[in-house]
Structure 1
């Protein structure tokens, strides 16, 4: 790998001393600009097309009330949640791929999102829960599945490949459980579950977004504080412990934050592919040997918003759930990744 240019911020002997690869900075700024452009496009285009002048008038509160409702109450919450959920999935994927040191170490593959899916289904079918209850049920299901997978994979420590294999096995059991829950539910509850499991961003409001915003905000902040430890864990447990990092404790906390991010995103419905692909795309864009949390989050946000923005007019007038599109793309990507890994 070619030597990268380093941007020095501060003074080597001062309190402010940051060394940031210039390529990483350029890529992250470009991703932020891309997210902004996608957000503007999503706000402008739809059943009702808006000009930039109309958009800025609505955002500043100077447009007719009907136009302000379309922009601030219908489109803006959907776009905000697409960015937030995509960022959470991208960061969660980066955490688990770093812990397992395997590009297949995604919550989609390991089964943590399936545990969150089961918890949400139980809340919908057995307790007829609302959006807040679904969010809590998804979080509880994700955490419980993580505990089970961790305990079953434990053999004097955690090995990434064993964690993936155990996760796939538990995920298969949970798929059967989810199928049983749906076929034994009443028609009304089964329809609610079917609508939710499509992974749609339709109908999201600021009120419905509150649980995800709280959980994702707390988990993402905590994960970023441990990003240095995550990079040391990629070097191996022995190297991390030699540098003063408690490997098992750090791994457990990072897994907790990653599962929380996945479960909070699953509360809106299972959305595949983002957590699997975003960290690898970010790693290739930045040219880094390790997966970075911030870059993965920005790629995940851009991916989910981009897919949602493109799929809406592409399949109009049908409002195709974004989860249906991402799982289709993710299936093809997973096949390619499996072939690539088997050849290596």
Structure 2
């Protein structure tokens, strides 16, 4: 099968070129800037991943890290890389991608840059039920993933049900989600008060968002879930593009609006839930990653792949900064992402206020 460049289609304002498959209706827009940004982000994520593995209490030269990752190097280096640091870096990479993709889904569905899973209660719902699991002795792995998934999907179901009124709209989802987030936060605080000192400390560290002590038991379930969910995001991408035009326009184009919204909400909630189960609700990654990606790509539609890459980059670099910033003190990545994300949230709020809209 060959692909030809359409000579009849004009170049798009954002720099896109229409590609068509001959003798079919199949076509898509190739945006050179988006492709270049995606490749550069992939290179940056790869470098951040290697740096994450290389630096810690014992620094390992980058060349030795690469050798250990490819099966070479001495046994001591291989042990540090494969047993201690590689699982941590993989969890950070995958959690960042999950948060970034989920943030794009929710912000596009609501057409509001403030509607990240942190704000509208999805992360809080996953956090509440996962905290209950931790207090019941579910330490990690599939058990905690199940608790977090139940919490995230449960919060999504409550938000969608309460926001329903002859359909749902973005602003109702946001307003109801803020209320659900407050309710879940209160429930989490109650659970922490009722827990023992050790259990409360363990849950509080997890709620902050941390990659500390992550091992291969965290990697397996998260990798399996993303292997299922990320292809679903790719398949649902055209629906997401249609929904950003508004419900009426999407219906006119033949899009099953409510079915598409439910499918995307469930997929986004599952991404957030599994990421929260592996590393906790790392603050603001799902908020800032789509905004950074959109500005880098400068495209009219949602930037799913760049957002996932930016999310991975933010988590990996945040974890490196948290480990190296203060000598002898290892800050959780959630603390670093909170410091970076709070100014972004204030900027988005100020921008929304100036424009008189949600974004």
Q: Give the TM-score taking structure 1 as reference length.
A: 0.95
CA distance in 1 between counterparts of 2:222 and 2:42 reads 21
List gaps (5 residues or longer) in structure 1: none
Match of residue 301 from structure 1: 312
Q: Is the 8 A contact 2:314 2:337 kept in 1?
A: no
Matched, 1:262 2:272: yes
CA distance in 1 between counterparts of 2:288 and 2:31 reads 23
Q: In the TM superposition, what are the counterparts of 1:214-229 in structure 2 within 5 Å?
A: 214-229=224-239
Match of residue 44 from structure 1: 54
Match of residue 328 from structure 1: 339
2:42 aligns with one of 29, 32, 37: 32
Q: Is the 8 A contact 2:87 2:215 kept in 1?
A: yes
Q: In the TM superposition, what are the counterparts of 1:59-98 in structure 2 within 5 Å?
A: 59-98=69-108
Matched, 1:130 2:139: yes
Offset of 1:96 from its aligned partner?
0.4
CA offset digits 1:78-121 (Å, max 9, x no partner): 11111110010000000000100110111111111000000101
Moved more, 52-61 or 24-33: 52-61
Q: Is the 8 A contact 2:102 2:117 kept in 1?
A: yes
2:300 aligns with one of 282, 289, 308: 289
Q: Is the 8 A contact 1:4 1:22 kept in 2?
A: no
CA distance in 2 between counterparts of 1:342 and 1:76 reads 43
Q: Secondary structure at the match of 1:109?
A: coil
CA distance in 2 between counterparts of 1:308 and 1:135 reads 22
Q: For this pair of structures, how many residues does the alignment match?
A: 343
Q: CA RMSD in A?
A: 1.9
CA offset digits 1:269-289 (Å, max 9, x no partner): 110111001111111111112
Offset of 1:309 from its aligned partner?
1.8
Match of residue 129 from structure 2: 119
Q: Give the TM-score taking structure 2 as reference length.
A: 0.91
Q: Secondary structure at the match of 2:268?
A: helix
Q: Secondary structure at the match of 1:107?
A: coil
Offset of 1:53 from its aligned partner?
3.3
Runs of 4+ in 1 over 4 A off after TM superposition: 7-12, 14-18
Q: Is the 8 A contact 2:50 2:66 kept in 1?
A: no
CA offset digits 1:273-332 (Å, max 9, x no partner): 110011111111111122221121111111111211222211232111101111222222
CA distance in 1 between counterparts of 2:329 and 2:273 reads 28
